[in-house]
Amino acid sequence: MINLEKEIREQPEALRNVLRSNENAVAELVRDAKAAGVHGVYFAARGTSDHACIYAQYLFGILAGMPCMLGTPAVFTKYGADINMKGMLVIGVSQSGRAEDVLAVLESANAQGAVTAAITNNTDSPIAKTAKHHLFCGCGHEASIAATKTFTTQMALLAAVAGKWAENDAFLAELAGVGDKVQEFMDNCVGEIEVLAEKYQNIPGAVLLGRGISYPIALEGALKMLETNKLKMKGYPTSDFHHGPIAQIKKDDLVFVLSPKGATTGDSHDIIEKLKKEEADILVVTNDPAEILPGTHGIVVPDTGSELTSPFINVLVFQMLACKMTIVRGIDPDKAGTINKVTITK
């Protein structure tokens, strides 16, 4: 089994472990941040880690009413500017813990007396050592170029902080059950994805659409397909796709629509109706069979309990599809080409 698939399949246990092993660290971080009067969250990350932070933006807003912003590390490293982060919880997220621009944000925040936290898969990294609090993915070495288990464990840690901050025990209980739902996906959905990989092995590219909590998965899913299969993929927020980008869609173009049950299902229906008029090939990813509307086809994945945790399952569709497509296309996803496992930006 190639490293990519092996690491994808390790996620059920990785998700169970990361929540158990970081329970005290999450509680301490939230306790310190509340005691310091934190009123907002500033995220610093790149690539896949940035997508995990976009997910967290939605959770902190929905669950805790917390304003959040995605940091712009180049403001620190390239332009030498100072950002006032006093009163903020500053979270640096990096799989390797070695991203120099993320490190610069944390160092500046420390100097201002802000509460800082790091989420990494490397306890000995500069980022882990610089932040006042460290949450450890602890999912083992990730050898494949494409991040999979590090992404979902990052999401789980960020979700745990948001849920703990909001004192939302129901959400935290739902989050604790995600590992079992991921295992259910592995047991029941992989065969269907293998069929899709055969069907779509010769596509030039595709578009992924998601609204709200699903938007970061549209971004991450596109990245997995792009970096493993070298396809032209792009993720969009469904709301923005109406405003111009839909003009690129031609007959038979493949469009993935993320449509979990919840607040954004109506938005999925609206864009599907427009895509049908363009005669696109519409594949719906959903936890509700009723969401596979006439004129579309799709895959029904396990229901995690609410739309807020659906990203943990929906991203698996694209991780596994990317993996299975490399097999039918004769590509080695573990072999570095123009991209590297660890990319150091300054």
Dihedral through CA 150, CA 151, CA 153, CA 159, nearest 10?
160
The predicted pLDDT at position 82 comes to 86
Q: How far apart are CA 287 and CA 262, in angstroms?
A: 10
Mean pLDDT throughout 106-134?
97
* Residues 131-148: tens digit of each pLDDT: 999 999 999 999 998 999
Task: Evaluate if residue 341 carries a pLDDT over 70.
Answer: no
pTM, entire model = 0.95
Residue 221 is encoded by which pair of tokens? 């899913």
Compare 337 and 127 and report the one with higher pLDDT: 127
* Residues 2-57: tens digit of each pLDDT: 999 999 999 999 999 999 999 999 999 999 999 999 999 999 999 999 999 999 99
Contact 128, 117 (CB under 8 A): no
Rg (CA), the chain: 20
On average, the pLDDT of the chain sits at: 95
Q: How far apart are CA 77 and CA 71, in angstroms?
A: 12
Dihedral through CA 317, CA 213, CA 339, CA 130, nearest 10?
-130
* Residues 288-333: tens digit of each pLDDT: 999 999 999 999 999 999 999 999 999 999 999 999 999 999 998 8
- Predicted confidence band at 345 (pLDDT cuts at 50, 70, 90)? low
Dihedral through CA 14, CA 233, CA 308, CA 166, nearest 10?
80
Task: Evaluate if residue 342 carries a pLDDT over 90.
Answer: no
- Predicted confidence band at 334 (pLDDT cuts at 50, 70, 90)? confident
* Residues 196-209: tens digit of each pLDDT: 999 999 999 999 99
Q: How far apart are CA 130 and CA 146, in angstroms?
A: 26
Return the percentage of the chain with pLDDT > 70, whole number. 97
The predicted pLDDT at position 335 comes to 74
Order the strands of the 254-258 sheet from edge to edge. Answer: 232-237, 205-210, 254-258, 281-286, 297-300
Return the percentage of the chain with pLDDT > 90, whole number. 93
* Residues 75-91: tens digit of each pLDDT: 998 999 889 999 999 99
- Predicted confidence band at 70 (pLDDT cuts at 50, 70, 90)? very high
Three-state SS for the chain is CCHHHHHHHCHHHHHHHHHHHCHHHHHHHHHHHHHCCCCEEEEECCHHHHHHHHHHHHHHHHHHCCCEEECCCHHHHCCCCCCCCCCEEEEEECCCCCCHHHHHHHHHHHHCCCEEEEEECCCCCHHHHHCCEEEECCCCCCCCCCCCHHHHHHHHHHHHHHHHHHCCHHHHHHHHCHHHHHHHHHHHCHHHHHHHHHHCCCCCEEEEEECHHHHHHHHHHHHHHHHHHCCEEEEEEHHHHCCCHHHHCCCCCEEEEECCCCCCHHHHHHHHHHHHHCCCEEEEEECCHHHCCCCCEEEECCCCCCCCCHHHHHHHHHHHHHHHHHHHHCCCCCCCCCCCCCCCCC
Q: How many CA atoms lie within 13 A of 220 on its CB side?
A: 34
